[in-house]
Amino acid sequence: MGILSIAEQRRKTIPGPTNPMDKCTIVSIFNKDILETKVTIQPGRYHITPGTIQKPSLLVVGTASWWKEIDEEQPLLEIPNSSIQVADAIVRDYCNGLLGCNMVNAMPGLFFVPGNHNLDAIRKNYTKELEKATVKQIQWYKNLIRLADGLWARTNGNPLVIHDDMRLAASELNDTQKDWMKDFTLAQTVRCDACGSPRNPNFPVCANCKAILNPARAKELGIVFAQ
């Protein structure tokens, strides 16, 4: 390896010592793999394995830092973030913006507690937090199922509008009798002869332009349009 110039040495990021006691434990009862990447801090990759109400998954995080540029002559200034800031950013950044999530009473079952804890300690000392996370996650699942029902009805059963989280919600709440929970791997959309938009060939009416493309099937289903 070549010798770094003085300028390069000044620009090199060398983390300082961290507090080994500064730890937080992220708890997940969300049955989905989560990989959060923070490009502005080091370390910046955090992996939370799927968890359940019966067996939550845990991720212990510590201090992370970002670097502030002063000028070209001075070294980069390290700005440490506490484990609480890191854990809060991981949970909020993942959940914020998810369909059906309001971050108050409907969200994935993710939360964090200060300190380095194992599963037995979480179950013993944080039962209320686990119960709250369970209630919020169930409400989020219900929101997703309600949204899926609406999308399914408005699109005449187009499987492309159903998000994976919606199917996960129905599965977790044992609501698997929904039409949109069926295996649609073989379902293909075709273009409407009237307007050209994608449509489900199993339905006689186009969801976009309302053209009746299969009168016999529409009559069989008793579909009647006002004149």
Looking at the structure of the chain, the number of domains it has is 2
Residue 104 maps to a domain: yes
One-letter amino acid of 11: R
Residue 226 maps to a domain: no
In this prediction, residue 220 carries a pLDDT of 78
**pLDDT above 90: residue 188:** no
Structural domain boundaries enclosing 120: 6-126
One-letter amino acid of 90: I
Q: Which of residues 223 and 204 earns the better pLDDT score?
A: 204
- One domain for residues 13 and 115: yes
- One domain for residues 112 and 164: no
Q: What is each CA distance from 100 to 50, 147, 159, in whole angstroms?
A: 20, 8, 18
- One domain for residues 84 and 188: no
In this prediction, residue 62 carries a pLDDT of 95
- One domain for residues 56 and 146: no
- One domain for residues 156 and 117: no
Query: Hey, how many other C-beta atoms are within 10 angstroms of the C-beta on 90?
Result: 22
Q: Which of residues 133 and 209 earns the better pLDDT score?
A: 133
Q: What is each CA distance from 2 to 6, 8, 65, 75, 222, in whole angstroms?
A: 13, 11, 27, 20, 80
What is the spatial distance between Cα 148 and Cα 144, in angstroms, rounded to a whole number?
6
Residue 133 maps to a domain: no
pLDDT confidence tier of residue 14, bands split at 50, 70 and 90: low
Q: Which helix (H) or strand (E) holds 198?
A: strand 198-199
Cis peptide bond prior to 43, omega within 30° of 0: yes
SS3 163: coil
Residue 77 maps to a domain: yes
**pLDDT above 90: residue 74:** no
Residue 132 maps to a domain: no
- One domain for residues 173 and 205: yes
- One domain for residues 26 and 117: yes
- One domain for residues 81 and 184: no
Q: What token pair was written down for 89?
A: 């950013």
- One domain for residues 93 and 143: no
Which of these three, 99, 126, 153, is where a domain ends?
126
- One domain for residues 56 and 145: no
- One domain for residues 146 and 54: no
Per-residue pLDDT, averaged over 84-105, amounts to 95
pTM of the full predicted structure? 0.74
**pLDDT above 60: residue 100:** yes
